Amino acid sequence: MKLEVPRRLVVGAIAALLLSSAQQAAADPRSAREHLETGLALAEKGEWERALAHFEEAHHLDPQPTTLFDVAQARMKTGRYRAAIEAYQALLAAKSSLSEYQVNVARRQLATARQKVARLTVDRSALAESDEVTVDGQPVSRWPVLLDPGVHVARARRDGKVVAERSVELAEGANETIELRPSPTPAPATAPRPAQAAPPQATSASWPPWVVLGASAAVLGVGAFFGVRGYGAWSDLHDGCGRTKTCAQDDVDAARRDVIIGDVGIGLGVVGIAAGVYLLVSGSKDTRQVGTF
């Protein structure tokens, strides 16, 4: 069964679409006019940043050469010289829609913008042919590139990775060349060598034996002194005291004490000297071994 749409429904739908399109077309110029008037009011107050936003929106809604003229003027006031150059060039290409005054202003402002815009050239002689160079994230293939005054960043990418980067601050009318050079590849990290113990100093290794030898010699001397005195006193007591004569007990005790001190001192002195000689000989041997390691 074949269905037929009533003719009046088709006509009504077409009429509704045409009416909607007409209303939309009429609404854009009205909205554009509102943005334009707001932008002009802000420009009179010197609020050029906000005025520029309204001018650009007005031109987007209803592209007109006169609106583009206001956009270009606001771009000049805000230091956007590169975008202003594009706007003035577009205006002069359609100058038939402008007044003679606007054409003359556009020509003068275009010349001024070309003087104030900065130019940057990147020397890529140190880069590979396949490396991609970007300025502020935008690929660049022709130099110099026109830029607004301020800080800009140039990068070189190789296989998607940044191999060189440099920032530069450009003044009005600057014309500068910078070089992009890849950073050297860092050498592979190596394990640190274990620290070697410092060889013992000869003086620190030799002074203990000499101290032992000196102290032992002193003890030996003291022991010899008391030994000689004690044995001498004991001999005198032995010769002077006999069957007919009794020696004083204090003299006997003193002689015996000197003999004991002498024997102990001589014994300790001999042992100490032997120990000092051993330490001296062994220390000298260790020092020679360390020196020839």
Looking at the structure, do residues 236 and 158 belong to the same domain, yes or no? no
Looking at the structure, do residues 104 and 134 belong to the same domain, yes or no? no
What does the pLDDT average to over 234-245? 61
Of the spans 23-32, 60-69, 224-233, which averages the highest pLDDT? 60-69
Looking at the structure, do residues 72 and 145 belong to the same domain, yes or no? no
Q: What is the DSSP letter of 183?
A: P
Please tell me the predicted confidence (pLDDT) of residue 20.
41
What does the pLDDT average to over 20-28? 46
In angstroms, how far is the first alpha carbon of the chain from the final one? Answer: 111
CB count in 10 Å sphere of residue 155: 19
Looking at the structure, do residues 74 and 140 belong to the same domain, yes or no? no
Q: What gap in Å lies between CA 245 and CA 219, rounded to an integer?
A: 37
The residue from 76, 93, 116 where one domain ends is 116
Please tell me the predicted confidence (pLDDT) of residue 221.
77
19 domain residue, yes or no: no
Q: What gap in Å lies between CA 170 and CA 177, rounded to an integer?
A: 11
- Which tokens go with 96? 């038939």
Please tell me the predicted confidence (pLDDT) of residue 199.
57
- Which tokens go with 12? 């009504």
Percent of the chain with pLDDT over 70: 68
77 domain residue, yes or no: yes
Give pLDDT tens digits for 93-120. Answer: 987 778 889 899 999 999 999 999 999 9
User: Where are the alpha helices (H) located in 94-200, listed in sequence order?
Assistant: 100-116
* CATH number for 109: 1.25.40.10
Looking at the structure, do residues 110 and 133 belong to the same domain, yes or no? no
What does the pLDDT average to over 129-153? 93
Q: What gap in Å lies between CA 58 and CA 71, rounded to an integer?
A: 9
The residue from 144, 179, 214 where one domain ends is 179
If one counts the domains in the chain, the total is 3
Domain that holds residue 254: 204-291
**Residue whose structure tokens are 């960043």:** 153
Looking at the structure, do residues 87 and 161 belong to the same domain, yes or no? no
Please tell me the predicted confidence (pLDDT) of residue 216.
73
* Greater model confidence, 158 or 196: 158
Query: pTM for the complete prediction?
Result: 0.53
Pairing type for strands 118-123 and 175-179 reads: parallel
Please tell me the predicted confidence (pLDDT) of residue 89.
94
5 domain residue, yes or no: no
Pairing type for strands 145-147 and 138-139 reads: unpaired
Please tell me the predicted confidence (pLDDT) of residue 26.
43
Range of weakest confidence among 27-36, 107-116, 128-137, 278-287: 278-287
Please tell me the predicted confidence (pLDDT) of residue 223.
66
